[in-house]
Amino acid sequence: MWNMPIQEVEDELTHAMSKLRPVTVKAVNKCMEGIAIKVGCKLEKELGTLFGLMFDGWTHGGTYYVALYGVYEDDEKLRVPLLGLSPLVDGTQTADAYVELFKNILDVYDKTRHMVGFLVGDNCNTNQAIANKMGVPLVGCASHRFNLAVNKFLAPYEDLLADVNTLMVELRHENNLAELKKHTVLEPIKRNVTRWSSTFTMVQRYIRIRAEIKKVEAVEELIPTGGKHRKLLALFEHLKKFQSITLQLQRDDTDMAEVRLMFDALITEYPVMGEHLKQSAKIVHTPAFESGVAKVITGAVLSSPETAALKRFESPPPAGKKRKQREEEDYASLLLQGKGKKRKQSPDAPTYAPLVKMIPPTSNHVERLFSQCKLVLTPQRRAMFPANFE
């Protein structure tokens, strides 16, 4: 029964290796239900009447799951708890199906969709349609936008990168890998075309083990020539900058003003990225809301459309705290250390709920969850009930 859903608690070997008292599957299920109820009651109180939702979808074993997080402020801290991880039963991935699922999950916490102030998710058409149906702004995932922008920049280098990928794939073959291991413990890495960061790791590994690769005769003809290698070295300098931006976007304390600052700097240095990174890009669902949030953080004066977009979040002035300084010296951090990032706010300007300054610029929380889900939903556990999996 090992690896079966919850069944391991009754395994004799598990009992022998632990000092815990024997317990039955029925008791574990009852305990799980009790904990879920208590957590749900706590979240119901903390969510309040104005909060955001972060979401994304994931397909595994023929089932499409949707993860929904709540986004709210509590005790001057951002909270992003998981509200639900449910499959779309009929498999229909339409905006209406998402909205209905959100409604059902919010009902569990005695909340309605009219309490939702914003959504955080990818910038795809379906998500924009969801935001339109719910009548709320969509904060497009900055990591998703940046991934598209970098792929746009890399398009002219596609043939060169494809050659490196072909080399790496050949090196991963059993005989070639065995020969390579005689000279280095580092293994070749191929890229995932949907994630630009895998291109960075692939080129980085190629540069690191190029000398060792030359000792594998079977791939000698696939090794980039001197001219191509120099182009890869020059490209890698740009990739290092992009990687520092990626890492900065993955930080939980990166705010929307910092994202805007980094994106503006990238557009200046790499104009081709403007199609996806500029403030008024077509991919942006609610430009006034996103730019308004960034201005609230920096203390800049909001335009009329921005003020209207944030009207719902106006509140008495809260007590503020200074953000801690960062010590990194990479490309992204140097951009954020530039002068003039923070400006003194006009005394006549409206004040907003603390949540506005904390709105996450990415949906990376959901991506991390799905990475964990892959480790849980092994082939033996696919029969697990959705409630137990959640």
Specify the higher pLDDT residue, 375 or 77.
Answer: 77
Average pLDDT over residues 82-111: 89
Partners of 140 in the beta sheet? Answer: 121
Report whether 71 contacts 53 (CB < 8 A).
Answer: yes
Partners of 56 in the beta sheet? Answer: 67
The model's pTM is 0.81
- pLDDT of amino acid 110: 93
Dump pLDDT digits (tens) for 150-196. Answer: 999 999 999 999 999 999 999 999 999 999 999 999 999 999 877 78
pLDDT at 131 over 70: yes
Fold held by 29-141+364-389: Nucleotidyltransferase; domain 5 (3.30.420)
pLDDT at 375 over 80: no
Only one residue has tokens 């700097």, namely: 265
- pLDDT of amino acid 382: 61
pLDDT at 320 over 60: no
Beta strands in the chain (DSSP E): 51-60, 63-74, 77-79, 82-87, 116-121, 138-140
Neighbours of 359 (CB within 10 A): 25
Side-chain-side CA neighbours of 268 within 13 Å: the count stands at 7
pLDDT at 55 over 70: yes
pLDDT at 325 over 50: no
pLDDT at 348 over 90: no
pLDDT at 340 over 50: no
Provide the pLDDT confidence category of residue 28 given band limits of 50, 70 and 90: confident
- pLDDT of amino acid 18: 74
pLDDT at 249 over 90: yes
Report whether 101 contacts 88 (CB < 8 A).
Answer: yes
Report whether 99 contacts 116 (CB < 8 A).
Answer: no
DSSP structure class, residue 22 = P
pLDDT at 366 over 70: yes
- pLDDT of amino acid 31: 84
- pLDDT of amino acid 6: 64
Average pLDDT over residues 105-134: 94
Q: Report how far apart the first and last C-alpha atoms of the chain are (Å, whole number).
A: 21
- pLDDT of amino acid 290: 96
State both tokens at 128: 């924009």
pLDDT at 343 over 80: no
Give every CB contact of residue 203 below 8 A, 6+ residues apart in sequence: 161, 164, 232, 235, 236, 239
Report whether 164 contacts 157 (CB < 8 A).
Answer: no
Q: How far is CA 347 from CA 73, 243, 300, in A?
A: 24, 39, 11
Distance CA 100, CA 119 (A): 15
Specify the higher pLDDT residue, 81 or 89.
Answer: 81
Distance CA 81, CA 76 (A): 15
- pLDDT of amino acid 339: 44
Average pLDDT over residues 329-337: 70
Q: Where are the domains of the chain?
A: 29-141+364-389, 148-246, 251-358
DSSP structure class, residue 270 = -
DSSP structure class, residue 271 = G
Lowest-confidence pick of 38-42, 161-165, 193-197, 384-388? 384-388
- pLDDT of amino acid 369: 87
- pLDDT of amino acid 319: 53
Report whether 79 contacts 54 (CB < 8 A).
Answer: no
pLDDT at 260 over 90: yes
Q: How far is CA 5 from CA 105, 225, 315, 382, 388, in A?
A: 24, 53, 47, 8, 8
Only one residue has tokens 């002035």, namely: 317
- pLDDT of amino acid 358: 95
Distance CA 33, CA 54 (A): 24
Provide the pLDDT confidence category of residue 337 given band limits of 50, 70 and 90: low
Report whether 70 contacts 51 (CB < 8 A).
Answer: yes
Lowest-confidence pick of 20-29, 70-79, 131-140, 147-156? 20-29
- pLDDT of amino acid 36: 80
State what percent of residues in the chain have pLDDT above 90.
64
State both tokens at 180: 């390579």
pLDDT at 321 over 50: no
- Picking from 5, 150, 130, 164, the residue whose alpha carbon sits closest to that of residue 55 is 130
Average pLDDT over residues 1-17: 65
Dump pLDDT digits (tens) for 271-305. Answer: 999 999 999 999 999 999 999 999 999 999 999 99
Partners of 171 in the beta sheet? Answer: none
Amino acid at 175: N
